[in-house]
Amino acid sequence: MAHVECRNIRKSYGGHEVIRDFNLSVSDHEFVAFLGPSGCGKSTILRMVAGLEEISGGDLMIGGARMNDRDPGDRGIAMVFQNYALYPHMSVRGNITFALERAGVAKDEIARRLGAVVETLGLGAYLERKPTELSGGQQQRVAIARAMIKTPEVFLFDEPLSNLDARLRGHLRVEIAKLHRALKTTSIYVTHDQLEAMTLADRIVLMNQGRIEQMGTPEEIYTRPATLFAAGFIGTPNMNFLELEAAEGRLRDGVLDLAAPFALAPGKVTLGIRPGAVKLVAEGDPGAFPVLAERDEFHGETRLLALRSGSQSLLAAIPATVRIAEGERLWARVEEAAMHVFDTGSGMRLAA
Amino acid sequence: MRQRTALPYLFLGPALVVLVILAAVPTIYAVNISLQNRTLSAPDADYVWFANYLRLFSDDRFLNALWVSLKWELLTVSATMVVGIGLALAMFEAANARWRAILCLLFIIPVLLPRVCAAFVWKFSFHPLYGATTWPVRALTGETPDLLATPWGAMLAVAFVDVWQWGLFFAVIILKLLESLPPQPIEAARIDRAKGWEIHSFITLPMLKLPLISLVLVKAIESLRSFDLVYVMTRGGPGISTETLDMYAYSQGFIEAGNISYASSMAVIMMVLTVVMFTTIWKRVQK
Decide if A162 touches B, using CB distance below 8 A.
Answer: no
Q: From chain B, pick out residues whose CB is under 8 angstroms from the CB of A71.
A: 190, 193
pLDDT at A255: 86
Q: H or E stretch including B35?
A: none
Name which of A68-82, B31-45, B166-180 the model is least confident about: B31-45
Kind of pairing between the strands at A77-80 and A154-158: parallel
List the single residue in B188, B193, B207 with the smallest CB-CB distance to A89: B207
Q: What is the tens place of the pLDDT at every residue in A171-230?
A: 889 989 998 998 899 999 999 999 999 999 999 999 999 899 999 999 999 999 999 999
Cβ pair A81:B184 closer than 8 A: yes
Decide if A132 touches B, using CB distance below 8 A.
Answer: no
List the single residue in B194, B198, B209 with the smallest CB-CB distance to A89: B209
Q: Name the DSSP class of A3.
A: -
Q: From chain B, pick out residues whose CB is under 8 angstroms from the CB of A85.
A: 182, 184-185, 187-188
pLDDT at B241: 86
The answer to whether residue B106 is domain-embedded is: yes
Which is nearest to B160 in space by CA: B230, B105, B87? B230
Distance from CA of B205 to the nearest CA of A (A): 10
For residues A251 and A265, the answer to whether their CB atoms sit within 8 Å is: no
Residue-level length of chain B:
287
Question: Within chain B, where are the H helices?
Answer: 2-19, 25-34, 51-56, 60-94, 97-112, 115-125, 135-141, 151-180, 183-191, 196-198, 205-207, 209-224, 227-233, 245-250, 260-286
Residues A191, A6: Cα–Cα separation, whole Å: 19
pLDDT at B225: 83
| Mean pLDDT for the stretch of residues A117-144 | 90
pLDDT at B2: 54
Q: Name the DSSP class of A310.
A: T
Residues B247, B69: Cα–Cα separation, whole Å: 10
Q: From chain A, pick out residues whose CB is under 8 angstroms from the CB of B189.
A: 87, 98
Cβ pair A50:B191 closer than 8 A: yes
Q: Is the pLDDT of residue A332 over 80?
A: yes
* pLDDT averaged over every residue in chain A: 91
The answer to whether residue B50 is domain-embedded is: no
Q: What is the tens place of the pLDDT at every residue in B144-155?
A: 778 788 888 899
Q: Name the DSSP class of A238.
A: P
Name which of A7-11, B39-43, B85-89, B162-166 the model is least confident about: B39-43
For residues A269 and A342, the answer to whether their CB atoms sit within 8 Å is: yes
The answer to whether residue B34 is domain-embedded is: no
pLDDT at A1: 56
Residues B32, A6: Cα–Cα separation, whole Å: 81
Find the closest chain A residue to B188 by CA distance: A85
Name which of A235-249, B192-206, B245-259 the model is least confident about: B245-259
What is the SS3 assignment for B273? helix
Q: What is the tens place of the pLDDT at every residue in B117-136?
A: 999 999 888 888 888 888 88
Residues A242, A271: Cα–Cα separation, whole Å: 5
| Mean pLDDT for the stretch of residues A249-256 | 87
Q: What is the tens place of the pLDDT at every residue in A258-300?
A: 888 888 889 899 999 999 999 999 888 888 899 999 999 998 8
For residues B287 and B210, the answer to whether their CB atoms sit within 8 Å is: no
Find the closest chain A residue to B183 by CA distance: A85
Q: Is the pLDDT of residue B4 over 70?
A: no
Q: H or E stretch including A195?
A: helix A194-200
For residues B263 and B174, the answer to whether their CB atoms sit within 8 Å is: no
Backbone phi, psi, residue A203, to 5°:
-145, 140
Kind of pairing between the strands at A154-158 and A186-191: parallel
Q: Is the pLDDT of residue B192 over 70?
A: yes
Per the structure, the complete domain to which residue B235 belongs is given by 60-286
Interface mutation vs chain A, best among B190, B192, B210, most A CBs within 10 Å:
B192
The answer to whether residue B281 is domain-embedded is: yes
- Cβ-Cβ contacts under 8 Å for A274 (sequence gap 6 or more): A235, A239, A240, A338
35-64 in chain A: CB under 8 A from chain B: 50-52
What is the SS3 assignment for A297? strand
Query: Looking at this protein, which amino acid is placed at residue B261?
Result: S
pLDDT at B144: 77
Cβ pair A79:B188 closer than 8 A: yes
Share of chain B above pLDDT 90, in %: 38
Q: From chain B, pick out residues whose CB is under 8 angstroms from the CB of A146.
A: 188, 192
Number of structural domains, chain B? 1
How is the beta sheet containing A312-319 ordered, strand by strand? A278-281, A329-334, A289-298, A302-309, A312-319
Kind of pairing between the strands at A329-334 and A302-309: unpaired
List the single residue in A51, A71, A81 with the smallest CB-CB distance to B188: A81
Residue A107 binned pLDDT confidence (cut-offs 50, 70, 90) = very high
For residues A241 and A230, the answer to whether their CB atoms sit within 8 Å is: no
Here the CATH number for the domain that contains residue B86 is: 1.10.3720.10
Cβ pair B191:A146 closer than 8 A: no
Distance from CA of A75 to the nearest CA of B (A): 8
The answer to whether residue B244 is domain-embedded is: yes
What is the SS3 assignment for A343? strand
Cβ pair A79:B202 closer than 8 A: no
Distance from CA of A95 to the nearest CA of B (A): 10
CA angle B271, B276, B280 (to 5 degrees): 150
The answer to whether residue B242 is domain-embedded is: yes
The answer to whether residue B206 is domain-embedded is: yes
Residues B32, A76: Cα–Cα separation, whole Å: 73
Q: From chain A, pick out residues whose CB is under 8 angstroms from the CB of B187.
A: 50, 52, 72, 79, 81, 85
pLDDT at A273: 94
Q: How many CA atoms lie within 13 A of A96 on its CB side?
A: 31
Q: Is the pLDDT of residue B3 over 60?
A: no
For residues A127 and A93, the answer to whether their CB atoms sit within 8 Å is: yes
- State the count of interchain CB pairs (< 8 A) between A and B: 64
pLDDT at A133: 92
The answer to whether residue B155 is domain-embedded is: yes
Name which of A17-26, B101-110, B242-251, B253-262 the model is least confident about: B253-262
| Mean pLDDT for the stretch of residues B152-173 | 93
* pLDDT averaged over every residue in chain B: 88
